[in-house]
Structures are given as structure tokens and as C-alpha cells.
């Protein structure tokens, strides 16, 4: 594999070269004199301090020229949500945090080359829609965190692109692309959006209802912007305090969006209630069946399925059949005819 390295200091550049050059063909350059000579590189690995304003403009220009490179790994200096969001907004397909070990970096480069991912078969439109989707997520999460108004129009426009990509290429390409290029909450929200699009199409929803559904999916977990990453991305089981913190996200999301004139009541309802169950055992309002709208019921099924099949570094990806079985066995919590209709989305599409 041909890997191009860009770093903002001589030391970082030398460290990365030392890690990679025994294993891959490597080219490199300093960010300050980057002419982006990466040509036909298969991957680009970038590390730079995102607190330095002068770096941002250079990186923006640089990533603009790198859209043809399939793997764009950005290594940030600190694990903060703003840096991660910024790196994705710049165009990274994967963000890692310093200090990074050689084995981790090599695994990242190799991981995306696993033959079963069939990346060569993934059509560019799915990749482009996923990259645009991740950038929209990043800017939404960063606005929610800093208290800026969310750019609803641009998020809805991106959701529309995702819908077009799935309508054209199907759900499989979308799931493959998102699971192999994105991580954490962005991966989850992109998966939910794609699954909701496909579910809406398979149910024959009207164009307007479908638009409301996939927009609600884009926004549904925006409240997670307020949850510390250490809890959100914690591998394994959460304790009671962490679980309680996670369960604040529907109301937090509702509070972020409620004053926004571009958000309709149906979307607001879905953001607040996507963890409610028909039997009243959900949260935050313990609603019962009659109070849970059709849009929310569809979104909840899409959300649970996405959470089950997402790629996590600490566990194998669950097969779609197994995930559907879990949903099918959630007796009394989800609408049975909808779960039956979801079978085609979960297994066949």
C-alpha cells in the first residue's frame, strides 16, 4: 500500500515514517510546505495541532484535494469532541488520538483492506453521501456542544443525499460504507438514517413522511453531544450512574432543537421519544402505546437495529439475522406488524 504522511512538525513526521516505512511504501511532507504530492496514494495519514489557526486553512485546502484517497486517517493531539468533529468536518474518514502505537496504526490501515469489506464494490455515491453525512453530523454535534444554532437546512439536505444514495444503490452498500469508514456516534446516526430511509421506502411512506422520518433519524441522538465521550464510547457495560447519564440524551436533544423554527413538531417528538416502548417501559416520559406516533415507532425499530449491527472495536459485528431475531423477541415493546414489515429491510435489502 502507498501511504502519504503529512505532519505539522519534523518530529511527528519522522515518528510516523519510522512506524510505517518497513510495512508500506511511504511518501511524506510537512504541512507548512505541503504541495500534496500524494498522487496515487491508497491512504493518507495526517497529524496536526488543530488549535493552531494557520493549520486549519492549510488542512482544509489539502483535504479538498484528497477526496479520491479512500483512507484519510487524521491523528489528533487530544481526545476532545471538538477536535474529532473538526477532523471529520475537514474530510477525515477515521480519527485517532495521540499517542498512537505502531500496531494500532498498522491495524487501522490493514483493517480497511479486509477482503470481506468489498470496498471496491461500494459505489462512489454511497461513499460521497456518507462523507457528507459525517461532516454534517460533526458540525451539528459541535454546534450542539457550543450552543450555536443547528444548521437544520444543511443537515436535511445531506439526509436527502443519503436517501437518494440508498434509493439508487440499496441499503447493503450504505451499511458497508458507513461501518468501514465511520465510528462511534456518527457511525450510529448514519446507520439509523440509512435504515430509516430504507424502512420508509419499503413501507411506501409518502415523500413528505419519508423526509420527516430520515430527518428525525439524522437528529435523533443530537443530545449525545452533551454526554462525555468516556461514557458514550465506553467498551462493555455501563454502571447505573453512566446509564442514567446516557438516558438524559433524548431530553437534551429536545432542548437543543426545540426553539429552532426549522424543526417541525413531529421531528421534535421523535428526538424526545425514540427510546419509548409501547408497554410504557421506555424513557424519558414512560409513554404508552397510544401516545407514541407512527414515525417514532418506525424510528425506534431502525435505531435498535442500527445499534445492534454497528461496528465496535471491542466486539465482533453482529450479523443482521441475529439482530433481527433480538428485535422480533422484544415482545410488547415494538409494534408487531411493523417488526414483521422490517424483516425485509433487516434481511433482504
Tell me whether residue 82 is exposed, middle or buried, using C-beta atoms within 10 angstroms of its C-beta: 0 to 12, 13 to 18, 19 or more: middle
Whole-angstrom Cα distance, residue 34 to residue 304? 44
Least distance to Fe ion from the beta carbon of 284, Å? 11
Start-to-end Cα distance in the chain: 33
Least distance to Fe ion from the beta carbon of 250, Å? 6
- Which residue's CB is nearer to Fe ion, number 143 or number 303? 303
- Which residue's CB is nearer to Fe ion, number 221 or number 269? 221
Least distance to Fe ion from the beta carbon of 216, Å? 11
Least distance to Fe ion from the beta carbon of 291, Å? 18
Beta bridge pairs of residue 53 = none
- Which residue's CB is nearer to Fe ion, number 143 or number 221? 221
What residues contact 207, with CB distance under 8 A and at least 6 apart? Answer: none
- Which residue's CB is nearer to Fe ion, number 129 or number 270? 270
Three-state DSSP string of 32-84:
HHCCCCCCCCCEEEEECCCCCHHHHHHHHHHHHCCCCCCEEEEEECCCCHHHH
Least distance to Fe ion from the beta carbon of 136, Å? 16
- Which residue's CB is nearer to Fe ion, number 96 or number 217? 217
- Which residue's CB is nearer to Fe ion, number 15 or number 198? 198
Least distance to Fe ion from the beta carbon of 215, Å? 14
Cell numbers standing for residue 319:
450479523
Phi and psi at 5, nearest 5°, equal -110, 135
- Which residue's CB is nearer to Fe ion, number 173 or number 303? 303
| Helix (H) or strand (E) segment spanning residue 96 | strand 94-97
What residues contact 284, with CB distance under 8 A and at least 6 apart? Answer: 247, 248, 250, 251, 272, 275
Least distance to Fe ion from the beta carbon of 63, Å? 28
Whole-angstrom Cα distance, residue 54 to residue 68? 24
Entry field: residues in the chain: 349
**Site residues for Fe ion per CB under 5 A:** 221, 303
Amino acid at each position: 500500500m502507498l501511504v502519504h504522511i503529512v505532519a505539522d512538525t519534523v518530529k511527528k513526521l519522522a515518528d510516523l515514517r519510522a512506524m510505517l516505512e518497513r510495512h508500506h511504501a511511504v511518501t511524506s511532507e510537512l504541512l507548512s510546505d505541503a504541495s500534496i504530492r500524494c498522487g496515487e496514494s491508497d491512504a493518507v495519514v495526517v497529524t496536526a495541532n488543530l488549535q493552531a489557526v494557520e493549520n486549519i486553512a492549510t488542512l482544509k485546502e489539502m483535504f479538498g484535494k484528497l477526496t479520491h484517497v479512500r483512507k484519510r486517517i487524521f491523528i489528533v493531539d487530544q481526545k476532545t469532541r471538538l477536535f474529532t468533529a473538526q477532523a471529520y468536518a475537514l474530510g477525515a474518514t477515521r480519527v485517532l488520538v495521540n499517542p498512537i502505537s505502531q500496531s494500532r496504526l498498522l491495524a487501522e490501515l490493514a483493517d480497511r483492506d479486509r477482503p470481506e469489506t468489498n470496498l471496491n464494490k461500494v459505489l462512489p455515491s454511497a461513499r460521497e453521501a456518507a462523507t457528507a453525512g459525517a461532516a454534517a453530523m460533526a458540525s451539528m454535534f459541535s454546534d450542539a456542544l457550543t450552543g450555536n444554532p443547528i444548521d437544520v437546512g444543511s443537515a436535511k439536505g445531506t439526509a436527502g443525499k443519503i436517501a437518494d444514495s440508498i434509493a439508487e444503490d440499496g441499503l447493503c452498500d450504505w451499511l458497508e460504507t458507513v461501518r468501514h469508514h465511520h465510528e462511534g456516534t456518527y457511525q450510529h446516526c448514519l446507520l439509523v438514517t440509512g435504515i430509516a430511509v430504507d424502512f420508509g421506502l419499503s413501507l411506501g411512506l409518502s415523500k413528505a413522511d419519508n423526509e420527516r422520518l430520515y430527518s428525525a433519524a439524522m437528529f435523533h441522538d443530537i443530545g449525545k453531544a452533551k454526554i462525555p465521550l468516556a461514557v458514550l464510547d465506553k467498551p462493555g457495560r455501563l454502571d447505573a450512574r453512566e446509564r442514567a447519564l446516557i438516558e438524559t440524551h433524548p431530553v437534551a436533544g429536545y432542548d437543543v432543537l426545540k426553539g429552532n423554527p426549522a424543526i417541525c413538531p413531529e421531528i421534535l417528538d421523535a428526538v424526545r421519544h425514540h427510546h419509548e416502548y409501547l408497554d410504557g417501559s421506555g424513557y424519558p416520559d414512560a409513554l404508552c402505546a397510544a401516545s407514541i406516533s407512527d414515525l417514532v415507532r418506525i424510528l425506534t425499530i431502525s435505531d435498535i437495529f442500527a445499534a445492534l449491527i454497528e461496528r465496535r472495536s471491542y466486539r465482533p459485528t453482529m450479523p443482521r439475522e441475529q439482530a433481527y431475531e433480538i428485535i422480533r423477541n422484544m415482545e410488547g415493546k415494538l409494534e408487531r406488524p411493523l417488526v414483521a414489515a422490517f424483516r425485509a429491510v433487516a434481511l433482504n435489502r
